[in-house]
A and B are shown apart, each in its own frame.
Chain A
């Protein structure tokens, strides 16, 4: 699948129809999912209406981890095969992943305040997601600090791969940390199975987040392909050809071939 899509022609052929399909799925699932999750889903018998934060929070946390995995795979492809689309995927996915992570942290905090009685607990999950957020920020600012595009692609790919290896280690270390030093705050045991009446809206919201991410990524990558085509054209014929067309077309300007360059 990935090697098949590595060809930009085939990628465009796939992405042109796939992007609107993802857009339709996004809109439909949000139209169904948001009222279902926020209005019609049952209240929790202990948590009341505040359980509805879950439908925003849990999919965001899924996406936070999913997007980082995508970034790590793209980093591997970008590093080994120096594929420009893989690098573009990291560039566009990193800010989105950071936003999903921030959303998971903020909604988790808003949920934690009424449920646990605190905005923040030094719990294994919270801590490892926070570290994930910093990893995203590191990737984004590393990209911003390097001017040379090829070099930036190599370095960001290295950072993405090392960061991914770190994620399970962080999770593991904070798990042990937490189990040895139990926090005094009431931490929700993640054992209870969710009732189907809550699981369905949650699944639809998860699908909506995923479709939104796919839509945004496909659109961004299609734009990236177009940008690269324009650049390739420029390097063949020179940007002057485009500039001359623009100056000729300007209203009121006298038609003087070559005068704009003189």
Chain B
């Protein structure tokens, strides 16, 4: 299928580029560790801030790994070829997002317990962070992909992606943190915050790929 072929192409490109996939992970660990330095050695204070730090670090790392997501494909004419072919640009965007999730977000999720431990996080909170990131991270990737598609032909890509995508991720961040707090209590699994978090991801799933595809179409017109 064309969709999986596009996914595989992106995965192969990212993995063969020599450590490109690790950028987001290293950035995530750096932001987490430096927040620790900034807060200081008081273990109780670090514990209180651990969940927000993990979420912010994940959010920033997602945007960072997305700033050049479509730039090369627009410059090299790949987008034009796909637009001419049988599969839609929306599919192409979705395939890109799946590849980003596998290459950048999955390692980041795997490293969350490690960063959580050095931030002295409570086990129940750590579970909450991992669960909410599992639900919410796709929205971060999708909005980042939209920002990247909008700024693919631009001059100042990096900061522009953050400026375009970050406001769109505000609801996901808010409900993500609320979900962590809800999961700290015993009956948290059915909390409405988790459903709202899922809703922000589903809205991003519906809106971001077609919008990003329209933006890519405008880039090649």
A interface, CB within 8 angstroms of B: 79, 127, 131, 134-135, 137-138, 141-142, 145-148, 150-151, 154-155, 158-159, 161-163, 165-166, 169-170, 172-174, 176-177, 180
Query: With A142-B151, A165-B207, A169-B203 in contact, do A176 and B178 touch (Cβ < 8 Å)?
Result: yes
Q: Which residues of B contact A166 (CB under 8 A)?
A: 167-168, 170-171
A169 engages B150 (CB within 8 Å): no
Query: With A135-B167, A154-B221, A162-B207 in contact, do A145 and B200 touch (Cβ < 8 Å)?
Result: no
A158 engages B154 (CB within 8 Å): no
Q: Which residues of B contact A142 (CB under 8 A)?
A: 150-151, 154, 160, 164
A145 engages B151 (CB within 8 Å): yes
Can you give 23 A-B contacts (C-beta < 8 A)? Answer: A137-B163, A138-B164, A141-B160, A142-B164, A145-B151, A145-B155, A145-B156, A145-B160, A147-B155, A151-B219, A155-B215, A158-B211, A158-B215, A162-B146, A162-B168, A162-B207, A169-B200, A169-B203, A173-B170, A174-B174, A176-B174, A176-B178, A176-B193
Distance (whole angstroms) from the CB of B204 to the closest CB of chain A:
10
B150 engages A155 (CB within 8 Å): yes
B167 engages A173 (CB within 8 Å): no
Contact with A along B208-221 (1 / 0, CB 8 A): 10010011011101
B218 engages A170 (CB within 8 Å): no
B167's contact among A138, A148, A150, A154, by CB below 8 Å, is which?
A: A138
Interface size on B, residues (CB 8 A): 32
Interface residues of B: mostly helix, strand, loop or mixed? helix
Query: How many angstroms between the C-alpha atoms of A210 and B171 in the bound complex?
Result: 30
B218 engages A158 (CB within 8 Å): yes
Q: Which residues of A contact B167 (CB under 8 A)?
A: 131, 134-135, 138, 163, 166, 170
Query: How many angstroms between the C-alpha atoms of A162 and B150 in the bound complex?
Result: 12
Q: Which residues of B contact A172 (CB under 8 A)?
A: 171
B70 within 8 A of A: no
Query: How many angstroms between the C-alpha atoms of A151 and B218 in the bound complex?
Result: 6
Distance (whole angstroms) from the CB of B48 to the closest CB of chain A:
14
Q: Which residues of A contact B174 (CB under 8 A)?
A: 173-174, 176-177
B170 engages A170 (CB within 8 Å): yes
Q: Which residues of B contact A165 (CB under 8 A)?
A: 207
Query: How many angstroms between the C-alpha atoms of A134 and B166 in the bound complex?
Result: 9
A173's contact among B150, B151, B175, by CB below 8 Å, is which?
A: B175
